[in-house]
Structure 1
Amino acid sequence: MGSHTPPTRLAILETDTPLPNTKEQYNGYSGVFTSLLLRAAESQDVPLSSLLTVTAHHVVPDSDIVPVSYPSPDDIDAILITGSKHNAFDDEPWISDLVNYTRSCIQGGRIRVIGVCFGHQIVGRTLGVPVQRSDKGWEVAVVEVDLTETGKSLFGLKKLRIHQMHRDVVTANPPDSLPLAHTELCPVQGFYSPRRYITVQGHPEFTGAIVTEIVRTRNRQGIFTDDFSGEALSRANLDHDGVAVARGFLRFLRE
């Protein structure tokens, strides 16, 4: 990572708004990801500013405060699509816009794409793979994930522990991609194409506090039962490998 290489211009496409406590601490999900990427850079004794410049772009038309904005492709080198409460398989206009924008980035060949959870599913959909509700239910809080040889090499781990918050799944690894990981509940946990895209179904950016707030909120809303919530909360503060995944993202951006 020589100093002669200018910082990668990363645009974070926010596809949801955090719950109140998380929003207060980080503002938007771009703040959550920037915090993670900062820790990943620090763990390698590299200032993040030498690797990345980060801009935030809200792409959901659900707020009077934040208008929808996509970065001009000329102004960026990479995008990161965040997680979301929305369904990646829905045909709402903004989701179709996001799929089309992602497709133009991938097909253009210059802009690299990172997808996380909903973002992973959007990339899968963009690459022609169906996304659907899983008949195996929710995968929530810190889960142990089996890595492929490619996944082990990219993340520098033998096993991956990562936060999850999903019940939708990408149904197959896209053609021409390298599978990264799988669990029994979700066989497609991530995929990769060098210098083009990398995705994970889990949430490397989530903390115990963020997951606790989501689980408690969804319990109150009747989405999660008391038993399910209790079990998930018991795993919300376990150690996880989010920083290692983010180091993998940083390596991918500099390939």
Structure 2
Amino acid sequence: MTGTALITGAARGIGEATARCLAGQGWQVALMDRDPEVIEVAAGLGSQARGYTGDVSDPGDWERIVGAVTADLGPVTGLVSNALITDPTPIDRMTPESWQRQLDVNLTGTFHGVRTCLPGLRAARPGRVVIVSSVHAFFGLPDVPAYAATKAGLTGLTRQLAVQYGSGVRVNCVAPGPIRTAQWDRLTEDEIARSAAETTLGRLGSPDEVAAAIAFLIGDDASFITGATLTVDGGWSVTKNSS
């Protein structure tokens, strides 16, 4: 079964790769992002794709965009909640405004998305939701307190939604590890190589590899999977060095 999938944070990285992957599998794809570039990205995917600019933390933007998607492509039967922001700052130096903004986008954005898309998702029986968390949900790393808190919250929300909506909406989560997206551009090649060496596969992942996991969870082959979190990290979370 395919249908209409709405992907947030879709102008680049994992969101853009997911839109390409799902479009290639026959889904109608709606790409949502604050960056106007999302319109051009969607245009490159063909007639089954549309781009929409909006802020996932704004419930009014959600109402507007889901209404437009329904008119343009049909009811939303799949939701990929991927939008994020991060501010790498220790909590003693982080402003309350930065903390709140990260919660608003990373965690509350998913709340708004599921809440707004729920009529179409429930009518699809089953609707499908994939939430993009992170290995930061499970491991302590320096300087990302708000980001880690939001990503941990998303794994709990995944389980809650799966229980709440039962057979009517399947809800799953992916937890990417070190994936080579634009967020890595601020690091040196030596820093990137050290991070790659901390995976069992000895490399960073690509957005396409996360997109493939999302496509699996949103597709029919995952028909008996709900409330699960799939780690996509090249073995980063299962290997640690000890001298």
TM-score using structure 2 length: 0.47
Question: Which protein is richer in helix relative to its size?
Answer: 2
Question: Which protein is richer in strand relative to its size?
Answer: 1
